[in-house]
Chains A and B, each alone.
Chain A
Amino acid sequence: MILDGKCPTGPIEQTWDKHRFDLKLVNPANKRKYSVIVVGTGLAGGAAAASLGELGYNVQAFSYQDSPRRAHSIAAQGGINAAKNYPNDGDSIYRLFYDTIKGGDFRAREADVWRLAQVSNNIIDQCVAQGVPFGRDYAGYLDNRSFGGAQVSRTFFARGQTGQQLLLGAYSALSRQIKAGSVKMYDRREMLDLVVVDGVARGITVRNLVTGEMESYAADAVCLATGGYVNVFYLSTNAMGCSVTANWKAHKKGAYFANPCYTQIHPTCIPQAGDYQSKLTLMSESLRNDGRVWVPKKKEDCGKHPNEIAEDDRDYYLERKYPSYGNLAPRDIASRAAKEQCDDGRGVGPGGRGVYLDFADSIARLGADTISERYGNLFEMYEKITDEDGYKRPMRMYPAPHYSMGGLWVDYNLMSNVPGLFVLGEANFSVHGANRLGASALMQGLADGYFVIPYTIGGYLATVKPGQVKTDHAEFKKSVEDVKAEQNKYLSINGKKTVFEFMRELGGLMWENCGMARTKESLEINLKKIPVLREEFWNNVKVTGSGAELNQQLENAGRTADFLEFGELLCRDALHRNESCGGHFRAEYQDAGEAQRDDVNFCYVGAWEYKGKGKEPELHKEPLKFDNVHLAVRSYK
């Protein structure tokens, strides 16, 4: 089937304005008759729930943490992009649009990206009004920094805690609506099923993580803002609770999963220290504004103290390979370059899996105080984890899974192919193509939540009668029974291996065979091994305790079971895409280390349909058209 993204046509500058006018409206007196479920309360979900509640809809919001203030959006460090052009350095909405399309390696929809660039400026204004303390100069004007993949300074920041401050802004707006009674907040709840009645999304089944009870919630529309899936690699920069579960359950109820193979491996993370490690820690890309990346030129120097390696014996490989962007080359390119140096035997630190990020030049130029003001919290974090002082010796970095560009397929209105099911933020596939540029995730989450869904959901709700299905419907009961049966199964297996042991094994397979570089052979290995591991899980996992209590192992068992199915789909998608683009690097398709796209055969969104247990999923395609930015080989040289 050929999918239709329902993008507006005409001059790109007018698409969003024209579309907003064409969308149907729900009049203010009728809005209170409609109810909306929002799952996930990070930047996208929190902003959506607050904005929809303010408009007058009855909103029910759900979070697996104990408070909506804890979603993993909070961990974003460096900043948020906007096309304000405050520094007068040549930025514009068109340039942000252009950079994002190019940065995504021409695998995103033009109209969606245009809209993102257009509303980016509103986001900054909104956050300032909420009291987000962005960095400013002495006169009081907003300050900017640079990020990868751009030659202008368009990134707004709140020290190294931008995601935290933006999330707390959305959380405060949400708290105001909770107080006003327009949003009912349900925390410590995990969505374990989507309820679909006659092909339309009507509600969700959630587990109350404190009591273990199954609860049903019905609404006229369901919004998933449930984040990304890179914990499929086990070790990633994501929070421990991040999972594919909500998306996967929706997928099994009919929602197409688009481009799962587009995963972002972030170039600057603290290298792994041991097998017991539970997660990897990112160090903001903003560090590459002032830090220089290098490895020793000679293999025999790798074991030396970095400060003893002479300047001439250092290979500043990003500056060498990409002189015009230098250390600010996009993430996919910087990560691959790091892997290339380490594969060449010139990596540093344990196992030779590391490169240096060196601040000595910046400290000499600007002074340690300036560097500390810019990145102090990051240096502190680095020291706590590694016991090394980044001011005195270069930091060690290695790429780690960080973000998923793929996600549930949505049309221009952010609605999936299941009517009534909307998907926001990282959970959808829409704007980042095959590679996300730094400081664009916060922008997308807030764009979707504050400025897109409040309009587009009205266009859908205006066409449906409110309150048609209640939780006493047979589909809700069936959903609860199915979820309970699955939970009981985990508890009854009583095997020999823990949930973590399975997750670690799956993550190892994914990283080894479907990580920064993939080949037909490596992917075929995974397509053989993952089903075997999944089979073993269902026969040999051990989960203690019961379902009628707070049981973290049971929660993790469900997430792992879903990753064991999803991982296979990710590999299948990677295998079918016989090209390299952005974060998807197939070693067979390269031109001296650079990704080699195949626009003739693969210039489309690949969206997979679930066909049932044990059956092969079916691929649907949405062709991508580039009328404004011409398809070209991406060059940062």
Chain B
Amino acid sequence: MSDHKTMTLTLIVWRQKNANDPGKFETYTAKNITEHHSFLEMLDCVNEDLIHTGKDPIVFDHDCREGICGMCSQVINGAAHGGQERTTVCQLHMRKFKDGDTIYIEPWRARAFPIIRDLIVDRSALDKIIQAGGYTSCHTGGVADGNAILIPKPVADEAMDAAQCIGCGACVAGCPNGAAMLFTGAKVSQLALLPQGKGEAAMRVKNMTEAMTACDFGNCTNHYECMAACPKGINVKFIARMNREFLKAQFT
């Protein structure tokens, strides 16, 4: 709304041409920003100014801009997704900032996520973890009726709590060890909770944790930073469940 006061902000943004470039911080000014701008819309405005002056705009991943695709990935003032509880960068609004603020913007920083350009990182390691076993091996067609196996609401609900992971990687970026335990734990738990996934549970947890290590993710030392950073509020209890599944798998 035009009748609102506008803000001027100082942005200190990580710029890096490509994976081989050492990268550095650059300073920009964001002008005429209202409280209704989303964080990414604020960056859009800065980019429009940069293009007009013939400079390369800041490159960042984004797509749905409604908090569900998991594409956006920025560390803002040291916090993955900006530190607002259960919020992705695209859903962060400028009313959380005030006129004159200085904002640091960086990419996800983790050994398993090499930087591609500016704020964009390569998160294909997360896909590799899923490919290692994040599925039930059902065929297309030839499955039972949806009501053939009953799943009481509390179980279905808990599986859904785990399943809502958007795969953004904030848990990894937030973790001091760069671990993907919350990401992996959520998928292992979802499928271990459901009767459809139980048959392969032991093999799944072994293969997925192995992939996690192979992809250079770190270990869990119970900082809970992953849960704080997770835009879907996924609980660390799923890491505990994965650990139990892992232990069980040693005896099967």
Cα–Cα, bound, A308→B211 (Å): 59
Write the A132-143 contact mask toward B (1 if CB under 8 angstroms, else 0): 111111111110
Cα–Cα, bound, A553→B67 (Å): 23
Cα–Cα, bound, A47→B41 (Å): 33
CB of B86 within 8 Å of the partner chain: yes
CB of B184 within 8 Å of the partner chain: no
CB of B93 within 8 Å of the partner chain: yes
B51 and A54 contacting across the interface, CB-CB below 8 Å: no
Contact of B164 (CB < 8 Å), options: A70, A125, A161, A175: A161
- Contacts known (A69-B70, A75-B68); A164 close to B164, Cβ less than 8 A: yes
Cα–Cα, bound, A130→B136 (Å): 6
Contact of A175 (CB < 8 Å), options: B56, B127, B156, B191: B127
Cα–Cα, bound, A95→B134 (Å): 37
Contact of A240 (CB < 8 Å), options: B63, B87, B146: B63
Cα–Cα, bound, A130→B152 (Å): 17
Cα–Cα, bound, A129→B61 (Å): 33
CB of A498 within 8 Å of the partner chain: yes
A-B contact count (CB 8 A): 226
B69 and A128 contacting across the interface, CB-CB below 8 Å: no
Residues in B whose Cβ lies below 8 Å from that of A138: 152-154
Contact of B132 (CB < 8 Å), options: A164, A179, A545: A179
A552 and B59 contacting across the interface, CB-CB below 8 Å: yes
Cα–Cα, bound, A465→B196 (Å): 40
CB distance from A79 to the nearest CB of B (A): 14
Residues in A whose Cβ lies below 8 Å from that of B224: none
CB of A13 within 8 Å of the partner chain: no
CB of B83 within 8 Å of the partner chain: no
B116 and A550 contacting across the interface, CB-CB below 8 Å: yes
Of chain B, the residue at the smallest CB distance from A279 is B65
CB distance from A542 to the nearest CB of B (A): 6
Q: List residues 44-98 of chain A with CB under 8 A from any CB of chain B.
A: 47, 50-51, 54, 65-72, 74-75, 84, 86
Q: List residues 545-567 of chain A with CB under 8 A from any CB of chain B.
A: 545, 549-550, 552-553
- Contacts known (A210-B116, A384-B91); A142 close to B138, Cβ less than 8 A: no
- Contacts known (A129-B196, A130-B136, A140-B153); A161 close to B57, Cβ less than 8 A: no
CB distance from A302 to the nearest CB of B (A): 16
Among the stretches B32-40, B212-220, B240-248, the one at the interface with A is B32-40
CB of B44 within 8 Å of the partner chain: yes
Of chain A, the residue at the smallest CB distance from B54 is A544
Contact of B48 (CB < 8 Å), options: A70, A139, A281, A500: A500
B144 and A129 contacting across the interface, CB-CB below 8 Å: yes
CB of A126 within 8 Å of the partner chain: yes
CB of B22 within 8 Å of the partner chain: no
CB distance from A181 to the nearest CB of B (A): 11
Contacts A384-B93, A451-B141 supplied; 11 other A-B pairs, CB < 8 Å: A54-B139, A128-B143, A128-B196, A131-B196, A175-B127, A278-B40, A384-B67, A387-B95, A454-B140, A501-B48, A542-B54
Residues of A within 8 A of B (CB): 47, 50-51, 54, 65-72, 74-75, 84, 86, 122, 124-142, 158-159, 161, 164-165, 168, 171-173, 175-176, 178-179, 185, 187, 210, 239-241, 273-274, 276-279, 281-282, 350, 380-381, 384-385, 387, 450-451, 454, 498, 500-501, 542-545, 549-550, 552-553
